[in-house]
């Protein structure tokens, strides 16, 4: 009996080996069976993705071009292994949900030449990556990420002409057939409308020691990757940048035994699924910090947007002691845990250790400490790179974190700079906000002291930041990670009336729109961009905004039409906060509050657009009502309008 069992097992292993050696197609299904990845092995590795029986992506190609070989050409499959992941993750910083269910099916294919390709299929997306097992270092000359669409789709692209970019471009709507390689490329993420309610959000995760990916048109209804080369030599270019004077012929020189970034596709059957999607987080390296209890996300009072031009005070305003004490007092009154001292606090942008002569920084730190307010300092990346010891010094001073600005690149060198910074900062319990930055790609999971990236057309763009663009952000930019948008204008205006100046800063969108942003937009350090003089004047609005948490136990999109309007409900403990915004069209819809516990009544305090808000954006109404799980709530927003409320 034993011999027959061994013989039978040998025969099964032979069949399996025969299947592997002759396989041309391997399929991978999502756990619910709704998504399918079909991998085909011929003279190349290609794949197609299906939603049910409908093709979403067809004959897509992946390839990794090394100095002396090309991985993915004439692939020789040694073995393939299917598996699954079913785990619960409790992130130390919960930007969307305090519990994340990570459930997917996996496929790993090992090829001759010491490399592998791994796919993962989730119910709301798919991803793949290369893995190599080679000795020493390797030079990656290029990576081919080629996506083809079965029919004409439309997409939201962030178009640029070169790799140096702060990633603050407005979204441009293009048909996929009109995205041609001779014109501009786009940085990630890119949102594709595949029709029938299906959206595909392209991005990347677990980006380490490798450049960020851009995409360009194929000219035939498709896209392909393009990467910046690794810089080798730099020249002087002022106090916040460098000139790249010599580049390598490779995009990355890296260790030969490693995994490469995930190429990610969030695939949603309705727009609401984009809002609470944690795909980038799930695919990224887990937290490496032993302790995270010192990381305290929160709101921040910020002086730069309005240039610290206070009025109605009995001192000369500016970047000086009296003004910063005023900001600290304001933050303390509304229980805002931080203020940022932006450009102007230091005597020189090149010297991080010498404050402006008008400032006694240690006195301000102590003044804030006595009022439960900590200080975050702004710096250029170039100064940080030249003075990495500053994190130790700042920690000794009592500084809580740094806002680091003007990186404007995502080549291998700069991607590594981001990681060097958060790693070094974490040694000294320092939080980091990257401004002038590319999109999040998972580093905030590995180092939770990374609070936010900018990489967004935010309110600091003044009149160029329009609600018609901002209404896309929950579906695109914020879907891949926390962002530094800097909301909170009390001097609200319809876009045609926005006359932003530093003395009289203005933000487009109604007052209710601005308030709703605090609920909708996700970040670890949420700025209050406007003048404290206005916040004092508009006390009931300020009281609401400063009550909104920055981390959440649960996030639900209760109305979502990408590019038109969105409404979210977010829970922190036993309170639910509601936020809704629209673009340049008025919106009227109804939502059911069925996320509330059944059989109980609650009080809702909320802010809506006033009757004249379409003409005078500062017009709003504050109301209260009793609600329960059966309440059908009408939501009426004027153009560029909003809705904000709390249920308790």
Q: Per residue in 411-437, pLDDT tens?
A: 999 999 999 999 999 999 999 999 999
Q: Around Cβ 103, how many Cβ atoms within 10 Å?
A: 15
How does pLDDT run across 319-336, given as a tens digit for each residue?
Answer: 999 999 999 999 999 999
Q: Does 282 fall in a domain?
A: no
Sequence-separated (6 or more) residues with CB below 8 Å from residue 600: 628, 629
Distance CA 584, CA 562 (A): 13
From 168, 271, 342, 405, the catalytic residue: 405
Same domain, 349 and 254: no
What does the pLDDT read at residue 282? 98
Residue 381 phi, psi (nearest 5): -65, -35
> The CATH number of the domain where 517 resides is what?
3.20.20.70
Q: Which of 221, 250, 269 is the last residue of a domain?
A: 269
Write the DSSP assignment of 570-587 as a string of letters.
EEETTEEEEEEEE-SS-E
Quote the tokens at residue 68.
């002396």
Q: Does 354 fall in a domain?
A: yes
Q: Around Cβ 436, how many Cβ atoms within 10 Å?
A: 23
Residue closest to 494 by CA, chosen among 587, 612, 645: 612
Range of the domain at 405: 298-577
Structure-derived torsion over alpha carbons of residues 460, 326, 433, 422, reported in degrees to the nearest 10? 160
CB 337 within 8 A of CB 295: no
Residue closest to 84 by CA, chosen among 119, 43, 130: 119
Tell me if the pTM is above 0.85: yes
CB 138 within 8 A of CB 256: yes
How does pLDDT run across 609-622, given as a tens digit for each residue?
Answer: 999 999 999 999 99
Mean pLDDT, rounded, of the chain: 95
Average pLDDT over residues 94-113: 97
Same domain, 314 and 257: no
Same domain, 263 and 308: no
**What does the DSSP 8-state code read for residue 544?**
H
Q: Does 284 fall in a domain?
A: no
Quote the tokens at residue 484.
């530094």
Query: Coil, strand or helix: which one is 321?
Result: helix
Same domain, 452 and 343: yes
From 110, 460, 530, 619, the catalytic residue: 460
Same domain, 484 and 552: yes
Q: Which of 516, 548, 577 is the last residue of a domain?
A: 577
In this structure, the chain runs to a length of: 648
Q: Does 9 fall in a domain?
A: no
Distance CA 189, CA 156 (A): 9
Distance CA 490, CA 485 (A): 15
What does the pLDDT read at residue 3? 43
- The share of the chain scoring above pLDDT 70, in percent, equals 96
Distance CA 84, CA 511 (A): 47
Query: Coil, strand or helix: which one is 484?
Result: coil
Q: What string of H, E and C letters represents the secondary structure of 241-298?
A: CEEEEEECCCCEEEEEEEECCEEEEEEECCCHHHHCCCHHHHHCCCCCCCCCCCCCCE
Same domain, 255 and 307: no
Sequence-separated (6 or more) residues with CB below 8 Å from residue 76: 111, 112, 113
Alpha carbon separation from 427 to 206, 289, 348 (Å, rounded): 21, 9, 26
> The CATH number of the domain where 66 resides is what?
2.70.98.10
419 is catalytic: no
Q: In what order do the strands lie in the sheet with 450-453?
A: 450-453, 431-434, 401-405, 374-380, 338-341, 298-302, 525-528
Query: Coil, strand or helix: which one is 222?
Result: strand
Q: Does 274 fall in a domain?
A: no
Same domain, 310 and 395: yes
Is the model's pLDDT at 263 over the cut of 50?
A: yes
What does the pLDDT read at residue 183? 78
Distance CA 408, CA 418 (A): 12
Is the model's pLDDT at 1 over the cut of 50?
A: no
460 is catalytic: yes
How does pLDDT run across 462-502, given as a tens digit for each residue?
Answer: 999 999 999 999 999 999 999 999 999 999 999 999 999 99
- Tell how many helices (H) and how many strands (E) occur in the chain: 13, 38
What does the pLDDT read at residue 18? 34
Task: Give how far the C-alpha of residue 368 lies from the chain's centroid of Cα atoms, to the nearest Å.
Answer: 30
Is the model's pLDDT at 2 over the cut of 80?
A: no
Half-sphere exposure (Cβ direction) of 423: Cα atoms closer than 13 Å: 8
Distance CA 22, CA 33 (A): 25
Same domain, 265 and 310: no
Residue closest to 120 by CA, chosen among 62, 35, 55: 35
Residue 527 phi, psi (nearest 5): -75, 145
Same domain, 224 and 176: yes
Query: Coil, strand or helix: which one is 396?
Result: helix
β-sheet bridge partners, residue 179: none
β-sheet bridge partners, residue 348: 351
**What does the DSSP 8-state code read for residue 73?**
B
Same domain, 253 and 357: no
Q: Does 594 fall in a domain?
A: no
What does the pLDDT read at residue 6? 39
Is the model's pLDDT at 23 over the cut of 60?
A: no
Name which of 212-221, 384-393, 468-477, 564-573 the model is least confident about. 212-221
Reported confidence tier of residue 9, pLDDT bands at 50, 70, 90: very low
Q: Does 85 fall in a domain?
A: yes
Average pLDDT over residues 369-376: 98
Rg from Cα positions in the chain: 26
What does the pLDDT read at residue 219? 78
What does the pLDDT read at residue 276? 84
* Count of domains forming the chain: 2
Same domain, 375 and 435: yes
Distance CA 401, CA 343 (A): 15
β-sheet bridge partners, residue 175: 154
Q: Which of 559, 577, 595 is the last residue of a domain?
A: 577
Average pLDDT over residues 341-370: 97
Same domain, 234 and 364: no
Q: Does 112 fall in a domain?
A: yes
Average pLDDT over residues 244-261: 98
Residue closest to 631 by CA, chosen among 555, 544, 569: 569
Distance CA 266, CA 157 (A): 16
Is the model's pLDDT at 12 over the cut of 60?
A: no
């Amino acid at each position: 009996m034993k011999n027959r069992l061994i013989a039978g097992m040998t025969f099964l292993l032979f069949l399996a080996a025969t299947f592997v050696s002759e396989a041309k197609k391997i399929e991978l299904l999502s756990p619910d069976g709704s998504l399918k990845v079909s991998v085909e092995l011929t003279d190349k590795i290609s794949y197609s993705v299906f939603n049910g029986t409908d093709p979403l992506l067809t004959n897509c190609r992946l390839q990794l071009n090394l100095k002396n070989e090309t991985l993915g050409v004439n692939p020789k499959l040694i073995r393939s292994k299917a598996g699954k992941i079913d785990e619960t993750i409790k992130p130390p910083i919960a930007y969307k949900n305090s519990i994340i269910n990570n459930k997917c099916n996996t496929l790993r294919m090992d090829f001759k030449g010491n490399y592998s390709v791994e796919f993962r299929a989730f119910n709301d997306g798919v991803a793949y990556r290369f893995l190599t097992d080679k000795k020493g270092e390797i030079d990656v000359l290029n990576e081919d990420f080629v996506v083809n669409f079965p029919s004409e789709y439309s997409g939201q692209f962030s178009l640029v002409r070169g790799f140096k970019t702060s990633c603050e471009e407005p979204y441009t709507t293009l048909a996929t057939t009109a995205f041609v390689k001779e014109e501009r490329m786009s940085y990630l993420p890119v949102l594709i409308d595949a029709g029938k309610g299906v959206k595909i959000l392209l991005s990347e995760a677990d980006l380490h020691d490798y450049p960020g990916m851009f995409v360009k048109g194929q000219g035939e209804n498709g896209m392909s990757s393009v990467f910046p080369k690794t810089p080798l030599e730099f020249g002087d270019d002022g106090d916040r940048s460098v000139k790249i004077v010599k580049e390598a012929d490779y995009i990355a020189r890296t260790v030969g035994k490693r995994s490469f970034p995930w190429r990610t596709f969030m695939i949603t059957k309705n727009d609401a699924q984009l809002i609470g999607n944690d795909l980038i987080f799930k695919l990224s390296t887990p937290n490496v910090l032993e302790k995270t209890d010192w990381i305290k996300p929160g709101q921040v009072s910020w002086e730069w947007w309005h240039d610290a031009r206070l009025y109605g005070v009995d001192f000369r305003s500016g970047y000086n002691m009296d003004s910063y004490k005023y900001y600290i007092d304001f933050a303390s009154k509304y229980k805002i845990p931080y203020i940022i001292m932006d450009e102007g606090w230091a005597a020189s942008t090149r010297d991080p250790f010498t404050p402006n002569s008008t400032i006694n920084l240690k006195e301000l730190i102590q003044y804030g400490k006595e009022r439960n307010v900590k200080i975050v300092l702004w710096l250029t990346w170039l100064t940080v790179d030249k003075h990495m010891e500053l994190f130790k010094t700042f920690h000794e001073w009592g500084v809580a974190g740094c806002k680091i600005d003007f990186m404007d690149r995502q080549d291998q060198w700069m991607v590594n700079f981001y990681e060097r910074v958060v790693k070094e900062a974490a040694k000294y319990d320092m939080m980091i906000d990257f401004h002038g930055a590319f999109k999040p790609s998972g580093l905030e999971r590995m180092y939770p002291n990374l609070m936010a990236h900018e990489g967004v057309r935010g309110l600091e763009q003044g009149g160029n930041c329009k609600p018609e663009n901002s209404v896309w952000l929950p579906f695109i930019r914020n879907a891949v990670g926390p962002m530094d948008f800097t909301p909170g204008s009390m001097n609200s205006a319809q876009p045609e009336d926005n006359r932003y100046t530093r003395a009289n800063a203005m933000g487009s969108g109604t007052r209710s729109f601005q308030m709703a942003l605090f609920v909708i937009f996700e970040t670890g350090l949420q700025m209050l961009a406007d003048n404290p003089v206005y916040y004092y004047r508009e006390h009931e609005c300020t009281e609401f905004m400063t009550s909104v948490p920055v981390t959440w136990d649960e996030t639900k999109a209760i109305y979502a039409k990408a590019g038109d309007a969105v409404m979210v409900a977010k829970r922190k403990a036993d309170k639910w906060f509601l936020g809704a915004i629209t673009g340049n069209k008025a919106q009227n819809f109804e939502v059911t509050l069925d996320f509330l516990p059944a059989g109980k009544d609650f009080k809702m305090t909320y802010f809506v657009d006033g009757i004249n808000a379409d003409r005078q954006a500062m017009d709003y109404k504050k109301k209260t009502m009793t609600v329960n799980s059966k309440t059908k709530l009408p939501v009426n927003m004027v153009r560029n309008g909003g809705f904000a409320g709390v249920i308790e």
